[in-house]
C-alpha cells in the first residue's frame, strides 16, 4: 500500500510519521502551502509533490487530512481524475464517507479513518498514537484494502455506522470538549465563591482525576463455563459511570440539589446543572434500580 497524503497539517503530518514509523509506505505530501508540505515530507522522510496529479499517479491510497470544509472540494477535484482501483480516505470525525458523492462512478473505493485523539502538535502527536482507537467506516472494498495498513499498526480498529457517524462524533466531543467545559464552569463558580482561579484548579484536580480513573478502572469478569463444560477466558470490563457514581443526586438528596439550584444565580449555570443532572439521575437509577428517583427528576426538570 502506497499512501499519498493531501494536507500537511497536524493530522496529516502526525499520521504520516506514525505510518512510516510502523513500516508503512507513504509516498509523500501534497499541500496548498508548499512550505508546510515540504516540512511534512522532510519530517517523515518522504517526498513533496507539487501537483495533485503526480501524487495520485504514485499512490494507490489517498489520505485527505485537510480541514473538514475542504474535503468535498478536494474530492470533487480528485473525482475528475483517474482514481480507478484506488482507496480514497479522509480523517474527519464529523464527516462520513458519504462526502465522497457518486464515488461508485469513479471506480475508486472510499472510507474514513478517525483516530479518537486530539492532534495538538504535528511533530510529537505520533508518539502518543499507539494506544489510540481508530473508528472506521465506508465501503467494504476500501476497508478490506485498509487491512494491509491496519495489520502494521498496533491500534484497535472499530467499524462504525456510516449513517450514525455524526452522532458518534458528538459523543466523542462530549467526552472530550464538554468535559473540559464543565471543569471550566466549575472553576468559574469557585471563583465567584471567592476562591482564586489557580487554587480552584488545585482543589478540583484530585476530584476530577480520581472520578475519571474510577470510571475507567478495569477488573476481570468471572470466568464462564461453556456448554461443553470448559472454562472460557476471563475478560476485562470497565467499572463504568453508574457503578462509580457518588454525590447528592446518586444519594437522592433532594434538599441539597434544591439548594444548589436556588443559589447558582445564573440561568446558564442552572441550565447546565439541570441538563447534566438528568443524566446523572439516569446513571444513579442504573446503580440503584430499586430506588425511586422520580421526585429528583421532577426537581431537575421543573
Query: Tens-of-pLDDT digits for all 302 residues of the chain?
Result: 999 999 999 999 999 999 999 999 999 999 999 999 999 999 999 999 999 999 999 999 999 999 999 999 999 999 999 999 999 999 999 999 999 999 999 999 999 999 999 888 999 999 999 999 999 999 999 999 999 999 999 999 999 999 999 999 999 999 999 999 999 999 999 999 999 999 999 999 999 999 999 999 998 775 555 555 555 666 889 999 999 999 999 999 999 999 999 999 999 999 999 999 999 999 999 999 999 999 999 999 98
> Tell me, what's the pLDDT at 232?
61
Neighbouring C-beta atoms of residue 224, cutoff 10 Å: 11
> Tell me, what's the pLDDT at 229?
56
Integer Rg of the chain from CA: 24
> Tell me, what's the pLDDT at 227?
56
d(CA 73, CA 90): 13
> Tell me, what's the pLDDT at 118?
87
Spatial CB neighbours of 134, under 8 Å, sequence gap ≥ 6? 113, 114, 115, 116, 150, 153, 155, 156, 157, 158
Neighbouring C-beta atoms of residue 232, cutoff 10 Å: 10
> Tell me, what's the pLDDT at 153?
97
Amino acid at each position: 500500500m502506497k499512501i499519498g497524503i493531501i494536507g500537511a497539517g497536524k493530522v496529516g503530518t502526525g499520521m504520516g510519521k506514525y505510518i512510516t514509523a510502523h513500516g508503512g509506505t507513504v509516498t509523500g505530501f501534497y499541500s496548498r502551502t508548499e512550505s508546510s508540505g515540504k516540512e511534512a515530507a522532510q519530517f517523515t522522510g518522504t517526498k513533496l509533490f507539487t501537483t495533485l496529479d503526480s501524487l495520485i499517479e504514485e499512490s494507490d491510497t489517498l489520505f485527505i487530512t485537510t480541514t473538514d470544509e475542504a474535503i468535498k472540494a478536494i474530492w470533487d477535484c480528485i473525482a475528475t481524475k483517474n482514481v480507478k482501483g484506488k482507496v480514497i480516505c479522509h480523517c474527519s470525525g464529523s464527516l462520513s464517507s458519504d462526502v465522497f458523492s457518486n464515488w461508485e462512478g469513479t471506480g475508486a473505493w472510499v472510507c474514513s479513518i478517525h483516530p479518537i485523539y486530539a492532534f495538538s502538535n504535528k511533530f510529537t502527536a505520533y508518539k502518543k498514537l499507539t494506544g489510540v482507537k481508530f473508528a472506521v467506516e465506508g465501503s467494504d472494498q476500501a476497508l478490506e484494502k485498509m487491512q494491509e495498513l491496519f495489520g502494521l499498526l498496533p491500534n484497535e480498529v472499530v467499524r462504525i455506522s456510516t449513517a450514525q457517524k455524526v452522532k458518534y462524533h458528538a459523543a466523542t466531543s462530549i467526552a472530550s470538549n464538554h468535559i473540559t467545559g464543565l471543569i471550566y464552569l466549575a472553576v468559574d463558580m469557585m471563583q465567584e465563591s471567592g476562591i482564586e482561579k489557580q487554587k480552584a484548579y488545585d482543589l478540583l484536580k484530585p476530584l476530577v482525576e480520581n472520578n475519571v480513573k474510577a470510571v475507567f478502572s478495569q477488573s476481570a469478569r468471572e470466568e464462564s463455563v461453556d456448554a461443553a463444560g470448559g472454562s472460557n477466558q476471563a475478560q476485562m470490563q470497565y467499572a463504568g459511570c453508574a457503578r462509580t457514581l457518588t454525590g447528592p443526586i446518586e444519594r437522592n438528596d433532594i434538599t441539597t440539589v434544591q439548594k444548589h439550584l436556588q443559589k447558582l444565580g445564573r440561568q446558564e449555570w442552572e441550565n447546565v446543572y439541570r441538563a447534566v443532572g438528568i443524566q446523572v439521575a439516569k446513571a444513579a437509577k442504573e446503580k440503584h434500580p430499586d430506588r425511586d428517583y422520580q421526585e429528583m427528576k421532577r426537581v431537575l426538570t421543573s
